[in-house]
Amino acid sequence: MSRVAVVTDSTAYLPRELMERLHIHFVPLQLIWGDETYRDGIDITPEAFYTRLPHSKTMPTTSQPSPAAFRVVYEDLLHKGNDILSIHISSKLSGTIDSATQARQAFPDAAIEVIDSLSTSMGMGFAVLEAARAAEQGATLAECKTIAEKALANSRVFFLVRTLEFLHRGGRIGGAQAFVGTALNLKPILELRDGRIEALDRVRTWNKALDRLVEIYAEAVAGRKPLRIAVLHANAEEEAQRLMERVKSIFNVNDIRETTIVPVSPVIGAHTGPGCVGLTFTAGM
């Protein structure tokens, strides 16, 4: 029986030690900044990105990986005798899944499954981790796919941005378009739902918006367990730490299986802007 190799993309931005331990492979999206192109998570780190962003006269744009980039990864893994499960950022936010699908077609006889996560960051990342853990235990490609799909079906992603400017400019604003043009001091609370960004609420101050974010998150969890919890942040690590402690305090410790704090990748940060924080979970895994 072939071993299953799990592939994702750089927007998952999983902790590097977990990726190495579970043999997870990733294909980077691209950040285009003036005349320079960076591979997300390889040529530019979140720290470098958020340090440069406030002082830049030009704003970065983003691009999906090419089918050729996926073919290189797939060919290497197939050559080593692996089946492949490839899990990627929502098709409603990026064309990455199209590139993966095109690459898949170059190997018509190979065991490759491509999943549109309809999510990103740790909303997708938990599914990647669960599939990779199953693969480590000898699960088949079909079993790993089922596990990933279950994790995705039981995950939700909520986030709070300082401004809608970056989402609006990047064309990723989705249902949050309704909030554009409202009072500038209102802080929008958003959800990644069915692969698109949707507006949930808007609150006048940042601290009250954080309170509301936690309240919405707690309501969404609604007794579901066991929980895997992630806090996401775009150059707001101290705030993310405080948010994690706050969230952990409202749940029974025995109901929490895993927690992690993850920086938002530069490609995602180009659309959320600095200061964004988010909460995600997957339950029942």
213-253 per-position pLDDT tens digit: 999 999 999 889 999 999 999 999 999 999 999 999 999 99
pLDDT band at residue 181 using 50, 70 and 90 as cut-offs = very low
Pick from 139, 119, 202: nearest CA to 5: 139
d(CA 42, CA 28) in angstroms, rounded, equals 8
d(CA 124, CA 57) in angstroms, rounded, equals 32
CB 49 within 8 A of CB 40: no
> Residue 199 contacts by C-beta under 8 Å, 6 or more apart in sequence?
175, 176, 178, 179, 188, 189, 190
CB 172 within 8 A of CB 271: yes
User: Which domains are delineated in the chain?
Assistant: 4-29+64-152 (3.40.50.10170), 155-283 (3.30.1180.10)
Beta-carbon-side half-sphere exposure of residue 269 (alpha carbons within 13 Å)? 30
* Predicted structure pTM score: 0.92
Helix (H), strand (E) at residue 84 = strand 83-88
User: What digits encode the pLDDT tens for the residues 106-122?
Assistant: 999 999 999 999 999 99
Question: Which amino acid makes up residue 174?
Answer: G
| 88 token code pair | 């990627």
Pick from 68, 60, 72, 64: nearest CA to 29: 64
Strands 4-9, 25-27: pairing is parallel
Mean pLDDT of the chain: 91
CB 114 within 8 A of CB 86: yes
Other CB atoms within 10 A of residue 218 CB? 13
Query: 40 in helix, strand or coil?
Result: strand
Residue 133 DSSP label: H
User: What digits encode the pLDDT tens for the residues 134-180?
Assistant: 999 999 999 999 999 999 999 999 999 887 766 655 444 444 444 44
